[in-house]
Amino acid sequence: MDPIAVLAPHVAISLVGIVSGFVLIRDFLHSRFRSSVIWIFLAFTTLTSVTGYLFLRDHVVPSHVVGGIALLVLVPTWLAWRPYCLFGRWRRAFVIGATISQWLNIFVLVAQLFQKVPVLHQFAPTGSEPPFGVTEGVVLLLFVVVAVVAWRRNRASTVRFD
């Protein structure tokens, strides 16, 4: 498949997943779950990983590995939402799975920015330099904090479903 023909839809799908992921995380932090936001996030995040495999390579590249991990994380996250309807412990499993999925989206976004944006690329041309590592580390730390706060706020008695 022509990589140029796949690129624009893949990027658009990814951006919808990322934006809806931030809306979903904001909802988590307010102990609220909206089916429309959950549906958009899960569908577009899944499509992001799947369409990433349309960029054919003759060998496995890091994006294939991240996409595989993302799809594995999404399985219990989808199950927690449907069919288990965020009941009991599935609610927290969903919060953690969705937060990890969003972190993976942002991990790839940061990597792409360092690879494609000249101003950033000069600081980490191979992706193994300290500016790239520090940036990814800060992003990971922020997501760990969000996950912990969301975990604590999403007890059965405090959750709102919209």
Q: What is the Cα–Cα distance from 69 to 118, expressed in whole angstroms?
A: 28
Q: So what's the pLDDT on residue 158?
A: 63
Whole-angstrom distance, CA of residue 73 vs CA of residue 6: 24
pLDDT at 11: 96
17-40 per-position pLDDT tens digit: 999 999 999 999 998 999 999 999
> Helix, strand or coil for residue 96?
helix
Sequence-distant (6+) residues with CB within 8 A of 82 are none
d(CA 155, CA 148): 12
The pLDDT value given to residue 81? 95
Kindly tell me if the per-residue pLDDT of 157 is higher than 60.
no
Please state the domain extents for the chain.
Answer: 3-161
Average pLDDT along the chain: 93
The whole-angstrom separation of Cα 105 and Cα 14 is 8
Position 156 confidence tier, pLDDT thresholds 50, 70, 90: low
Per residue in 115-149, pLDDT (tens digit) is 999 999 999 999 999 999 999 999 999 999 999 99
pLDDT confidence bin for 1, thresholds 50/70/90: low
Alpha-carbon distance of 161 to 19, in angstroms, equals 20
Q: What's the pLDDT score for residue 25?
A: 96
Strand partners, 30: none
Range with the poorest average pLDDT among 34-38, 41-45, 84-88: 84-88
